[in-house]
Amino acid sequence: MKLVTLSACCADTYPQINETYIGGNAFNQALTWHAIAPQEKINLICCLGTDENGSKIKAAMVENGLDISHVSIKEGETSRNQLRVDEKGDRFGIEGSWVNGVNDDFQLTDADWELIAQADLINIAGHNPILPELLKRKKAGQCLSVDFLDKENHLDIEPLLEKTDIAFITVRPSDKDFYKALADKTGKLIVTTMGKYGSMAFYKGEVFQQDAIDFERIIDTTGCGDTYQAAFAYYYLTSNKDICEAMKQGNYWASLATQRWGSGVRIG
């Protein structure tokens, strides 16, 4: 299969441990796919700057076996962020620390769109400005997996579901009835992730549930959602759309992500 993920790649700094790791949906998902199925054709589409972080991220991508042929390099600063993790491993962005950098005006090239047109599975974040154009260009037979982030991001997801095959959103357990109703109304597969409460999927009137794996200690939840989504989408397609198997695998790979800082790929 041909797998494509596109979103920001960034440098995530944790002041509490004075370390920096590669972050961002595209990197986390590509890294997960590479761990699960290195034999597949995996591409991430993102943009890095010409600063030190950009150089280190590009080198680390190569070292970790990722294809960088669709990683754009632009003059300027690579996206960066600062994160804090509490004693439970829950991650919080440090207010005012996000720098969008070269992603401010990043546009896909013709070669990027050609790559997307050939993909079997495409992962993208719901707030990505490229999503509306991607929905227009999506071809029959392609699987589009969209991360609609947290419910608190207040994205209006219903108008975007028509061409979305797998919709992910992070919610509270009390929200499950709303998303079941939305799945029933639209006929779409909606997967809700709920942290320590596990995940639930709704599709064609059925409800699927997966408990979270209980660890004595969680180091950091950064990237867990990206990892879950990448694993779920891959196993959903390769298991003849077996939702239970996809949830099981998503849960397993996400649980591994809780046992490390960030993506586990340190650059500083």
Question: Which tens digits make up the pLDDT trace of 183-210?
Answer: 999 999 999 999 889 999 999 999 999 9
What pLDDT, on the 0 to 100 scale, is given for residue 188?
97
In the prediction, which pLDDT does 75 show? 97
Q: List CB contacts of 140: < 8 A, sequence separation 6 or more.
A: none
pLDDT at residue 8, as a whole number: 84
2-257: CATH class: alpha beta
Model pLDDT, residue 214: 80
Residue 215 confidence (pLDDT): 80
Which residues, at least 6 apart from 198, have a Cβ–Cβ distance to it below 8 Å? Answer: 209, 210, 211, 212, 251
Residue 154 has pLDDT above 80, yes or no: no
Residue 153 has pLDDT above 80, yes or no: no
Biggest distance spanned by C-alpha atoms of the chain: 50
pTM of the model: 0.95
